[in-house]
């Protein structure tokens, strides 16, 4: 029994999948590990020879036919040849019980062969695997073949001496000396059988070293993994923002087309009932209910506008900012120049930044006038909100701009604030963007019904 694990020696060797631990076991020579090591080296020699032929044919044919553009697909296939080679190598490592290196290829965001091909050609891991395939086809597989021939071929050739003497009358031992007598032949055969034991250990250690080298060459660099994780994290945050915007638009539509319409109908019904009711307590209650329904309708409209204003979805950022400026209690000058509609996440982020800035102007700045200006410059949406107030604004003091800055950063944008004591205050936001739609007809700047108070 094993003194630590409580298992029999044979059971410990069978349950341990690692070659290096198996090499330290006393029953290694009579286990399957030496033959697994030989199979690993032999399969490497065969796979390397096939890889060499495939790369030579693809590169030669692609280079010759590239003059007539027919060879370009063959050259692309040559560049991608490392992917199946790396997949086979990961499977071969299982013969040694070594954990395979992680597969670092990313999944395309869109289906289709073209998107898969474009992503693979941009990935650094593809070219790393191609480099391994070239090294495998030119250096590593001859080394595997030499190890098999030297480590296994010599003992087996010695062990075959009696058979050769019986067949040909003599045997050439490793092409060095000649054996032509039976006692010498059996002595050489016994020597060959004895050498199989140290050869098994040597082949196991050498195969393990080759396997570790394969793992090291195919394992992506740590910073590459971190970069892929950061990229995926950023993409997941963008997807969350898109899903959040879609959900806000759905809630806005449900409230606008459902609860708001019902309140409008209720207000009209109460107004008609109020006109038809004779003077008295009933008319007074109807009047109070009518006024309360009107206030509820106004609050619901403000709530809908704060969730996702219909003017932003229908007419775009310019009209939405003009509407927010018109509803601000502080006079606001608007000077926006955009060539067309932007993507919904960009428009929503910019709009709510402007709304929060105008709300802060009205609540805290003591300003007499504010200004919103900006446009598209070099593939970026640049907006500035300034006022002539007292200054001293601090985003960490609960102004609501910290959350908006996080929202802008998801879109790879920047939000900066300059607000010295005594003013003026300048808020600037930059978001990468491109026009996605032609410009829409803007709304008139008249104050909409129920639109009192600053934008929330």
Q: Find the mean pLDDT for residues 322-337.
A: 89
State residue 373's pLDDT score: 92
Rounded to whole angstroms, how far apart are CA atoms 147 and 206?
A: 8
- The phi, psi pair for 381, rounded to 5°, reads -85, 120
- The phi, psi pair for 389, rounded to 5°, reads -85, -160
Of the segments 65-69, 196-200, 206-210, which one has the largest average pLDDT value? 206-210
**52 confidence band (pLDDT: 50, 70, 90):** very high
What is the per-residue pLDDT across 122-146, written as a single tens digit (0 to 9) for each?
888 888 889 989 998 998 888 888 8
What is the per-residue pLDDT across 383-427, written as a single tens digit (0 to 9) for each?
999 988 888 777 666 556 777 777 788 788 888 888 888 878 888
* Bridge partners (DSSP) listed for residue 172: 178
State residue 367's pLDDT score: 84
- The phi, psi pair for 174, rounded to 5°, reads 45, 35
pLDDT over threshold 60, residue 328: yes
pLDDT over threshold 60, residue 16: no
Question: Which residues have a Cβ under 8 Å from the Cβ of 390 and sit 6 or more positions away?
Answer: 365, 366, 367, 421, 422, 423
CATH of domain 315-456: 3.30.565.10
What percent helix, strand, coil does the chain show, rounded to 5? 65, 10, 25
Q: Find the mean pLDDT for residues 57-76.
A: 79
Question: Which residues have a Cβ under 8 Å from the Cβ of 232 and sit 6 or more positions away?
Answer: 106
pLDDT over threshold 60, residue 286: yes
Quick one: what percent of the chain has pLDDT higher than 90? 5
Domain segments of the chain as ranges: 32-220, 231-308, 315-456
């Amino acid at each position: 029994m094993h003194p630590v694990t409580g298992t029999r020696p044979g059971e410990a060797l069978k349950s341990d999948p690692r070659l290096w631990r198996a090499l330290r076991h006393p029953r290694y020579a009579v286990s399957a590990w030496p033959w697994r090591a030989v199979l690993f080296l032999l399969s490497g020699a065969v796979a390397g020879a096939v890889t060499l032929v495939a790369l030579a044919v693809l590169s030669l044919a692609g280079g010759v036919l590239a003059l007539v553009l027919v060879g370009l697909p063959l050259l692309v296939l040559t560049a991608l040849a490392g992917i199946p080679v790396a997949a086979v190598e990961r499977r071969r490592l299982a013969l040694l019980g070594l954990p395979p290196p992680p597969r670092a290829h990313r999944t395309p965001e869109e289906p289709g062969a073209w998107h898969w091909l474009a992503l693979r050609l941009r990935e650094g891991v593809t070219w790393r695997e191609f480099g391994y395939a070239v090294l495998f086809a030119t250096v590593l597989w001859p080394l595997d073949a030499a190890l098999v021939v030297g480590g296994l071929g010599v003992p087996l050739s010695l062990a075959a001496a009696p058979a050769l003497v019986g067949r040909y009358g003599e045997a050439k031992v490793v092409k060095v000396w000649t054996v032509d007598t039976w006692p010498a032949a059996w002595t050489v055969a016994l020597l060959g059988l004895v050498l199989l034991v140290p050869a098994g250990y040597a082949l196991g250690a050498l195969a393990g070293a080759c396997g570790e080298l394969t793992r090291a060459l195919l394992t992506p660099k740590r910073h590459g993994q971190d970069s892929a994780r950061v990229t995926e994290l950023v993409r997941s945050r963008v997807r969350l923002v898109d899903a959040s915007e879609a959900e806000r638009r759905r809630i806005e539509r449900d409230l606008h087309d459902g609860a708001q319409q019902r309140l409008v109908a209720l207000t009209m019904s109460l107004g008609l009932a109020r006109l038809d009711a004779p003077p008295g307590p009933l008319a007074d209650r109807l009047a109070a209910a009518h006024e309360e329904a009107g206030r509820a309708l106004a609050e619901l409209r403000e709530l809908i506008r704060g969730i996702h204003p219909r003017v932003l979805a229908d007419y775009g950022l310019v009209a939405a900012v003009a509407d927010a400026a018109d509803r601000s209690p502080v006079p606001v000058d608007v000077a926006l120049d955009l060539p067309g509609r932007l993507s919904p996440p960009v428009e929503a982020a910019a709009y709510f930044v402007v709304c929060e800035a105008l709300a802060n102007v009205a609540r805290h700045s003591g300003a007499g006038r504010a200004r919103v200006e900006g446009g598209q410059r070099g593939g970026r949406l640049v907006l500035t909100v300034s006022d002539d107030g007292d200054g001293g604004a601090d985003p960490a003091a609960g102004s609501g701009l910290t959350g908006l800055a996080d929202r802008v950063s998801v879109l790879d944008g920047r939000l900066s604030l300059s607000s010295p004591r005594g003013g003026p205050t300048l808020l600037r936001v930059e978001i990468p963007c491109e026009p996605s739609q032609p410009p829409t007809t803007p709304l008139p700047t008249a104050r909409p019904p129920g639109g009192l108070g600053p934008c929330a």
